[in-house]
Amino acid sequence: MSQSLELAMARVAPGPKKIVAAVDRFNTGVGKLTSWLAIPMMLSVMYEVIMRNVFTAPSIWAMDMAMILYAIHFMLGSPYCLLTGNHIRTDFFYHSWSVRTKAAVDLANYIIFFFPAHLVFLYIATAYAWKSFIQNEVSVTSPWMPVIWPAKMAIPVCVALTLLQGISEAIKCYYRWKTGQNLWNSEQLGEAKD
């Protein structure tokens, strides 16, 4: 870490540093753990392809399992994607702005759009998932009729974890704006992208 970056990081209060470190570490762990769902998802698809094309005996469960695992994988990986800056951004002007301008715009977007939308979505998703859990909901579009409430429970969990990561990102934006430095740049700190 350069000396100017160290001096800028010294301007960050201990509380926000701890919050950012804890949230980022937790969502990194969830993201990496979630990535392992790709293996059973891939095995389900391979099993279905082999059974269907080699043995002419398609299963009634493999593709449903792959879709359920993909939904959970996609939802629980979203907070890690926010952490590492891999969500889609339309940056026609953004890339040419200063660090402070980017931070101010990002912080305003978090406050005006991100947090209100995610709070509403969390409220709706929680009710939706809870109803599915209480009813022990199954997929009626499949002859296998798998229980799908675990996939629906991933929705409010995803939103909650994304909200938590949003708090971390808003703190980073504030200090980026205050110091004019990318204090939590994952390439510099070697934390998120390894």
**What pLDDT is attached to residue 190?**
39
- Residue linked to tokens 């980017």: 102
Q: Could you tell me the pTM of the whole model?
A: 0.88
CB 166 within 8 A of CB 83: no
147 strand-pairing partners = 138
CA gap 48, 57 in Å, rounded: 9
pLDDT in tens, 79-121: 999 999 888 877 788 889 999 999 999 999 999 999 999 999 9
Residues 6+ apart with CB under 8 A from 147: 136, 137, 138
CA atoms within 13 A on the CB side of 156: 17
**What pLDDT is attached to residue 9?**
86
